[in-house]
Amino acid sequence: MPLPSPLYVILDREVARGRALPELLDAVLAGGCRLVQLRDKTLPMAELLPLARALQVRCRAAGARFIVNDRADLALAADADGLHVGQDDLPAPAARRLLRPGMTLGVSTHDAAQACQALADGADYVAVGSMFPTGSKTGFQLVGPALLRQVRSLISVPLVAIGGITEANVGEVIRAGADAVAVISAVCAARDPGAATARFIEAIARARAGGPHR
């Protein structure tokens, strides 16, 4: 299943500088992103569900794919397009059994064995990270673009690079083999999230035009 966008924006209230996520999403969509994830580890479900539904309505109207982090129940209740799980979340095979047919399943990985296991477990895309040091996630494992180069030939589904990616280094991960890049603070905390989104997409296009790194 191809990804609808080379930029994958993860919306997180904790790094959104007090901005409401629906308005932040509007800016991200206006900037050209068509792949969005809601990540929230603290909001009660009574508040999280209406938020997720509001984001999904916006994504659907724009033709964007809306993914929920971690919570299969929320993804189903909000009619999301998919679910993303990490190594400490619901195992991918169990998650797949819960999801409706056609829903996207993404899995975070931190080494080649995990990436191959995610593929075997039915992941529609495999996220690899952390590419660079990041403040958006505590306890991150720094693996660098070298892991992308290592697993590129092993993984037949899209590879998503994540962790500390900026406009300055995004070209490096694209040339290392990433099909898309996931960002949190680089867009959510940007002064102008829409402009930041557009600049990322342009930088990815330039890196792709330059050819793969060998």
Catalytic residue annotation: 39, 108, 137
* Chain centre to alpha carbon of residue 128: 10
* 188 φ/ψ angles, rounded to the nearest 5 degrees: -60, -35
Tokens of 36: 């969005």
- Tell me if residue 109 falls in helix, strand or coil: strand
Distance CA 143, CA 176 (A): 13
Count other Cβ atoms within 10 Å, centred on residue 18. 5
Residue 156 Cα distances to 8, 122, 138, 171, 179, angstroms? 19, 11, 29, 21, 11
Q: For residue 37, give the nearest of 47, 97, 120, 3 by alpha carbon.
A: 3
